[in-house]
Amino acid sequence: MKLIPSRAPLNIVPFIDIMLVLLCMVLSVSTFIAQGEIKVNLPEASTQDKLTDVESELILLEIGENNEIYFDGKKADSESVAEKLTSLDPDVHLELRIDEKADFGLFIVVLDKLRELNHGNFSIATKKTKL
């Protein structure tokens, strides 16, 4: 009588381990990407609230220490930002991240444009005051 060799069962545990490591790496890298394109030293506020779940699309408008402007991750000047704000859908949530050493006048120009367009769906990012 001739014996038929049996096939070894497929072990998927190493595959699952590798996939979990890759998932952890992707999640950790994505948190750093979501923080923005430029280094912005946010002003402190004691009444800071966490941004609740935003159901609409989120666009970042960042103004750095040297008044460099980034709109949705791309470098822009104040005129092009005004044009982009004009074409912005009112349902899109705009997060303003302005460095505490940036020119306050530039911040007022952005707020003025948002008020002119009647776009109330925005938030101003701050960091919590340490007690």
The CATH number of whichever domain residue 52 belongs to comes to 3.30.420.270
| Residue 73 is assigned to a structural domain of this protein | yes
Query: What is the pTM assigned to this prediction?
Result: 0.58
Place of tokens 């005004």: 82
Residues facing 95 on adjacent strands:
60, 123
- Residue 64 belongs to a domain: yes
pLDDT at 33: 62
Confidence of residue 108 (pLDDT cuts 50, 70, 90): confident
Residue-level pLDDT at 15: 93
Q: Per the structure block, which two tokens stand in for 106?
A: 């530039």
Mean pLDDT of 35-55: 59
Over residues 86-99, the mean pLDDT reads 85
The pLDDT of residue 40 is above 70:
no
Residue 114 lies in a domain: yes
Of the CA atoms within 13 Å of residue 104, those in its CB half-sphere come to 1
User: How many distinct structural domains can be found in the chain?
Assistant: 1
Instruction: Confirm whether 30 is domain-assigned.
Output: no
Which helix H or strand E contains 114, and what residues bound it? helix 104-116
Euclidean distance between CA atoms 49 and 36, whole angstroms: 19
Per the structure, the complete domain to which residue 119 belongs is given by 44-128
Non-local CB neighbours of 79 within 8 Å, separated by 6+ positions: none
User: Are the beta carbons of 72 and 60 closer than 8 angstroms?
Assistant: yes
